[in-house]
Amino acid sequence: MVGSQASMSPKRSACWVALAPLLCSCALALQGGMLFPRESPSREVKALDGLWRFRADFSENRLQGFEQQWYRQPLREVRAPRGVPESGPTLDMPVPSSFNDITQEARLRNFIGWVWYEREAILPQRWTQDMDMRVVLRINSAHYYAVVWVNGIHVVEHEGGHLPFEADISKLVQSGPLTTCRVTIAINNTLTPHTLPPGSIIYKADTSMYPKGYFVQDINFDFFNYAGLHRSVVLYTTPTTYIDDITVTTNVEQDIGLVDYWISVKGNEHFQLEVRLLDEDGKVVAQETGDQGQLRVPGANLWWPYLMHDHPAYLYSLEARMTTAGPVSDFYTLPVGIRTVAVTESKFLINGKPFYFHGVNKHEDSDIRGKGFDWPLLMKDFNLLYWLGANSFRTSHYPYSEEVLQLCDRYGIVVIDECPGVGIVLPQSLGNESLRHHLEVMEELVRRDKNHPAVVMWSVANEPSSALKPAGYYFKRQLVGIGSLSTMTLITHTKTLDPTRPVTFVTNTKYDADLGAPYVDVICVNSYFSWYHDYGHLEVIQPQLKSQFENWYKTHKKPVIQSEYGAEAIAGFHEDPPLMFSEEYQKALLENYHSVFDQKRKEYMVGELIWNFADFMTNQTPMRVIGNKKGIFTRQRHPKNVAFILRERYWRIANETRHHHSVPRTQCLGTRPFTF
Ligand code: GCB
């Protein structure tokens, strides 16, 4: 890669500087909610999916787009001033999708720096004329740093590639006789030691070996750094007085389901709120008024995980109706699952019953689309999870799209919701600057996902260098200096944001060296015996795995999840006796793990999550053959032999642990009315 730097625009650095005091004080309360844009009698949604104009800024400093203000006029009309070379024509780029694998250009696949997306949106007339209407632009995922303009006016910036952000653009679109608006989004995929995930730009200054200005993006995580608009960009409307956020927590007292709710309304202090809870037949089972309260549901149908109950994933609908003295009213409907989560010294409990995670780790990853959201892929994956008898997954190693979590709620797939804290290995990535950003990301994640019954635990990181001295402070749980938010570190902060769910991070540090483990609720351990060490020696797995479990449990007296284990197999490679990379080796490795799991799950082991659900793309390295091949399915979702082993196992475990409860109804999944 040639270029003097991949750095952000001057504007971008200015933005980070401006954020510093705010983040320093850790007064992180985000402004406003982030309710998923849903249609209702008072709200319209318009997705801007499809082809966008796209231009990567290949200029040496990557700043030509800012210097020439590409946002000021339609991208296709940009004419470089005399003497300055054109940065190239625009391409048609699909949204949602990563841009990397769409063209045949190697330099675009590996591009580091700013890329520009642009499209026009046609606005219904009432959106531009009705002054009682808000028009909001929402970007569901732009990886990694994004700057957004509407009709050439800067409206919002956002750091972080996996969580949504919004701008109220009502004033812009209601200020003249407009029927269209032009949305321009500049996105920079550069990762630094303080981004999440972190990375470093390495400049190769030796001109005898590299072209002038050569640099590469170094990363410490094992998946390709796909970039672009990975999820939908939408425009949606609300009334000017509107339901801004809803928080729901649930509990159960005997057979009474308790739904506590808090609703925040913006735009006017004078409003009335009516809240109704409807069952799956549309019958009102509880109602309340006011912006907070408790809905009581006698004989409640609880939300149970898949395979734990005859009618898993029961969802109620919470309908909030806000009215004002004037003509304005707003309606929002939120799916609600009533369930409890608790952790004891050796158990993970859902609705008071022991829950065993038999599931997978996933990635948002597929051919051509990269990390782009895709409904057919998503449905295929859920069908495979059901086929497999998997009841859970971890969103390794970043928050997945909201549609994924909505399907988990609806299908009863339990989720460990992980933030993008992966590859935190350099000491500077455990410093205050990184911590501040990490706290903010957790705040954005909890704000987005707090109401999903499927989400039962937060994971604040994957395999950080938790033996390094600063890790103790970074992950800490206690409040140092009462009353001062600024002293809350990662786990405390997350627990304060959401006191209803356990918090963990996933470790590969030794049990007696891990400085973060004392603060987690559940120990999640990754290990690759007979793969990354003792290669080829399957016979070491059982003794090593036994000591792993015994040491962790003895030290911490907390339930343990095997959060990753696995082996690479290239589909169709066969060897007997088993050799590494053959399907037989993958199978034998798993069987050795399983025999230890079967002993330990009688004690304090509460889950096993295979690495990985499917093969996925990584950076090119001598360790990877066109990506990581530890999938039990190929990247195209074809089963390897081991998928059948796991399927047999998961169904057996499910049948052993299945609970029968008194709710007699049965209903086919997929037949209920389903609104996004
Ligand atoms: C790990 C990481 C995961 C990798 C996996 C592997 O421990 O958490 O991101 O892909 O190992 O296959 O090396």
631-673 pLDDT, tens digit each: 999 999 999 999 999 999 999 999 997 754 433 333 333 434 3
Ligand 1 centroid to Cα of residue 618, in Å, is 11
Tell me if 630 CB under 6 Å of ligand 1: yes
Distance between CA atoms of residues 116 and 68, nearest Å: 13
The pLDDT tens digits of the residues spanning 405-431 come to 999 999 999 999 999 999 999 999 999
**Mean pLDDT confidence for 261-287:** 97
Minimal-distance CA residue to ligand 1 atom 7 = 526
Ligand 1 centroid to Cα of residue 222, in Å, is 6
Q: How do beta strands 180-188 and 145-150 pair?
A: antiparallel
Tell me if 489 CB under 6 Å of ligand 1: no
By CB atoms closer than 10 A (0-12, 13-18, 19+), residue 414 is: buried
Ligand 1 centroid to Cα of residue 6, in Å, is 27
**Mean pLDDT confidence for 359-364:** 98
Beta bridge partners of 187: 115, 146
68 token code pair: 């020439």
pTM of the model: 0.92
User: Is pLDDT above 60 for 485?
Assistant: no
Tell me if 583 CB under 6 Å of ligand 1: no
Amino acid at 330: D
Tell me if 224 CB under 6 Å of ligand 1: no
Ligand 1 atom at minimum distance from 628 CA: 12
Minimal-distance CA residue to ligand 1 atom 10 = 222
DSSP helix/strand/coil, 99: coil
**Residue 213 backbone dihedrals phi, psi, to 5 degrees:** 75, 15
Least confident of 13-22, 203-212, 429-438, 500-509: 13-22
Tell me if 564 CB under 6 Å of ligand 1: yes
**Mean pLDDT confidence for 114-135:** 95
Q: DSSP secondary-structure letter at 122? A: E
Residues 6+ apart with CB under 8 A from 313: 303, 304, 305, 306, 337, 409, 410, 411, 412, 669
Q: Half-sphere exposure (CA, 13 Å, Cβ side) for 322?
A: 28
**Would you say 673 and 408 are in contact if contact means Cβ atoms under 8 Å apart?**
no
Ligand 1 centroid to Cα of residue 381, in Å, is 20
Give residue 81's pLDDT.
60
User: Is pLDDT above 70 for 106?
Assistant: yes
Tell me if 90 CB under 6 Å of ligand 1: no
Q: How do beta strands 91-95 and 215-219 pair?
A: unpaired
Burial per residue of 608-619, b for 16 or more beta-carbon CB atoms within 10 angstroms, e otherwise? bbbbbbbbbbbb
Among 220, 525, 526, 563, which is best to mutate for testing ligand 1, by the most ligand atoms less than 8 A from CB?
A: 526
Angle between helices 10-24 and 432-449 (to 10 degrees): 80
Distance between CA atoms of residues 72 and 650, nearest Å: 56
Is-cis flag, bond preceding 197, omega within 30? yes
Amino acid at 323: T
User: Is pLDDT above 90 for 217?
Assistant: yes
Beta bridge partners of 56: 115
The H or E element containing residue 376 is: helix 375-388
Pick 9 or 598 by higher pLDDT.
598
Nearest residue to 459 via CA among 469, 449, 467, 470: 449
Band of pLDDT at residue 16, cut at 50, 70 and 90: very low
Distance between CA atoms of residues 11 and 9, nearest Å: 5
Q: How far is CA 125 from the centre of its chain?
A: 35
Pick 10 or 337 by higher pLDDT.
337
User: Is pLDDT above 60 for 20?
Assistant: no
Minimal-distance CA residue to ligand 1 atom 13 = 222
324 Rama class: left (phi>0) / alpha (psi -120 to 50) / beta: beta
Give residue 31's pLDDT.
84
Give residue 175's pLDDT.
84
Distance between CA atoms of residues 525 and 463, nearest Å: 9
**Would you say 318 and 329 are in contact if contact means Cβ atoms under 8 Å apart?**
no
Give residue 78's pLDDT.
52
Pick 477 or 186 by higher pLDDT.
186
By CB atoms closer than 10 A (0-12, 13-18, 19+), residue 52 is: buried
DSSP helix/strand/coil, 105: coil
Give residue 326's pLDDT.
84
Ligand 1 atom at minimum distance from 616 CA: 10
**How many percent of the chain have pLDDT more than 70?**
89
Give residue 89's pLDDT.
83
Tell me if 463 CB under 6 Å of ligand 1: yes
Distance between CA atoms of residues 143 and 114, nearest Å: 11
Ligand 1 centroid to Cα of residue 633, in Å, is 16
The pLDDT tens digits of the residues spanning 442-482 come to 999 999 999 999 999 999 999 999 999 999 999 985 544 44
Ligand 1 centroid to Cα of residue 67, in Å, is 40
Ligand 1 centroid to Cα of residue 104, in Å, is 29
Nearest residue to 302 via CA among 662, 676, 674, 653: 662
Ligand 1 atom at minimum distance from 506 CA: 8
Ligand 1 atom at minimum distance from 568 CA: 12
Tell me if 628 CB under 6 Å of ligand 1: yes
CA separation, residue 300 to residues 309, 413, 506, 662, 666 (Å):
14, 20, 34, 11, 15
Give residue 179's pLDDT.
77
Total residue count of the chain as it appears in this document = 676
Beta bridge partners of 349: 342, 354
Average pLDDT value for the chain:
91
Residue 463 designated active-site:
yes
Angle (CA) 265 450 334, round 5°: 55
Burial per residue of 438-450, b for 16 or more beta-carbon CB atoms within 10 angstroms, e otherwise? bbbbbbbbbbbbb
Tell me if 611 CB under 6 Å of ligand 1: yes
Give residue 80's pLDDT.
57
User: Is pLDDT above 70 for 248?
Assistant: yes
Helix segments in 180-312, DSSP class H: none
Ligand 1 centroid to Cα of residue 424, in Å, is 13
Residue with tokens 């980070």: 16
Ligand 1 centroid to Cα of residue 562, in Å, is 13
Instruction: Find the catalytic residue in 118, 418, 443, 463.
Output: 463
Give residue 657's pLDDT.
78
Q: CA 72, 58, 232, 399: dihedral to nearest 10 degrees?
A: -130
**Would you say 633 and 647 are in contact if contact means Cβ atoms under 8 Å apart?**
no
582 token code pair: 């053959």
Ligand 1 atom at minimum distance from 532 CA: 13
CA separation, residue 83 to residues 70, 80, 282, 500, 543 (Å):
17, 8, 67, 61, 69
Among 225, 611, 632, which is best to mutate for testing ligand 1, by the most ligand atoms less than 8 A from CB?
A: 611
Minimal-distance CA residue to ligand 1 atom 6 = 222
Distance between CA atoms of residues 568 and 531, nearest Å: 9
By CB atoms closer than 10 A (0-12, 13-18, 19+), residue 109 is: middle
By CB atoms closer than 10 A (0-12, 13-18, 19+), residue 218 is: middle
**Would you say 452 and 401 are in contact if contact means Cβ atoms under 8 Å apart?**
no
Minimal-distance CA residue to ligand 1 atom 3 = 222
Ligand 1 atom at minimum distance from 221 CA: 9
Amino acid at 582: S
Ligand 1 centroid to Cα of residue 158, in Å, is 28
Minimal-distance CA residue to ligand 1 atom 4 = 222
Tell me if 362 CB under 6 Å of ligand 1: no
**Would you say 471 and 464 are in contact if contact means Cβ atoms under 8 Å apart?**
yes
The H or E element containing residue 585 is: helix 583-600
Give residue 84's pLDDT.
52
Give residue 487's pLDDT.
58
Residues 6+ apart with CB under 8 A from 202: 215, 216, 217, 218
Nearest residue to 58 via CA among 96, 4, 17: 4
Tell me if 526 CB under 6 Å of ligand 1: yes
Beta bridge partners of 118: 53, 184
**Would you say 88 and 55 are in contact if contact means Cβ atoms under 8 Å apart?**
yes
Tell me if 222 CB under 6 Å of ligand 1: yes
| CA-based torsion, 610, 615, 618, 624: positive or negative | positive
